Structure 1
């Protein structure tokens, strides 16, 4: 697994890092968002918001909806399955599921290793594995994702829309969603109260 790959053109990829929304993104799906960047290449970028809960459904209910388990079986799921949080992953393809998980689970050609022991799988196989106690130790399921076309994310960063920080498993997987925004900022020595909504340079 290569870390911080170079994009064509020489700029460093932010793949495997966290994006932190600036106050300019005060409304809509990216308000106070922390995004784990799964891909960042010349043709665009894709990430998962990791600090917004999906309000209308939990993981056992989703397994039943997708016919991964029967309704009667959902009450006997292994404890680890009950711990999987369902996140609002972003505004694109909100009906599609993406599982960010620890690297102790690999599904042949469908698992992408991103970095720092964090992987992405978007097939039903991983849901079946979690439901039977054979899935990864840590996992979150995101409905939808955040996507940027070629050059769009770079433009938003230059316009003071995003900061970035290194990722770590706690920012991706732990249950304390409310504190992730401040914790991500703290990783780069920033306090939310210090952020200006005006574009500028440090």
Structure 2
């Protein structure tokens, strides 16, 4: 069954200001990750507080749906657009909801500021802007997201399921998603082969 984005995708998240949380960081799946939905994924953590966490998977290209297709489903012009962005499968939760993770040089009402340089927008306004040739300098559209309940992500990190690293524009918006997992580990100067020897130990 074809995946259809909602007519008016929305996101109800407030700004995250608590210290000690990882909003704005990248989560890197350890080689021992057994959940096939997250194996070798890199996730931008967009919100993290005592109430839980929400993030966007960066390196799972979306199959079977193009940006032009999405504009057509939402009834947005122009088609063909003056500009396109790539689409990814952002996570297993609410796969019909659309989110644009983008550079913070463009925002609209309801945009969530993830960090000083990155924002998350779930309004069709950003798709209209991009199709018209404007919008943020960098970004991509994700369908779905990854979510954790209170304390769940912290527990997974303690169990060596994830590493975390500060995000940068090259990792967030690079054009080689198949290389992203290794590139993110490389920022930590970590060899995946070296991790496999102790992965899974608390």
Which interval holds the TM-score relative to the shorter structure? 0.7 to 0.9
Tell whether the 8 Å contact from 2:26 to 2:45 is kept in structure 1 after alignment: yes
Deviation at 1:3, TM superposition (A): 9.2
- After superposing on structure 2, the runs of 4+ consecutive aligned residues of structure 1 that deviate more than 3 Å are 2-5
1:74 corresponding residue in structure 2:
79
Q: In 2 relative to 1, CA 134–121 (structure 1 residues): closer, same or farther, beyond 3 Å?
A: same
Tell whether the 8 Å contact from 1:51 to 1:177 is kept in structure 2 after alignment: yes
Tell me the SS of whatever aligns to 1:63.
Answer: helix
Write 1 or 2 for the structure with the bigger share of helix.
1
Q: In 2 relative to 1, CA 173–54 (structure 1 residues): closer, same or farther, beyond 3 Å?
A: same
Q: How does 1:20-35 map to 2 (within 5 A)?
A: 20-35=28-43
Segments of 5+ residues of structure 2 without an aligned counterpart are 1-14
Tell whether the 8 Å contact from 2:105 to 2:137 is kept in structure 1 after alignment: yes
Tell me the SS of whatever aligns to 1:115.
Answer: coil
Tell me the SS of whatever aligns to 1:95.
Answer: strand
1:15 corresponding residue in structure 2:
23
1:117 corresponding residue in structure 2:
117
Tell whether the 8 Å contact from 2:16 to 2:47 is kept in structure 1 after alignment: no
Q: How does 1:1-202 map to 2 (within 5 A)?
A: 5-6=18-19, 12-69=20-77, 73-75=78-80, 77-78=81-82, 81-82=83-84, 84-108=85-109, 110-196=110-196, 198-200=199-201
Segments of 5+ residues of structure 1 without an aligned counterpart are 7-11
What TM-score do the two structures reach when normalised by structure 2? 0.87
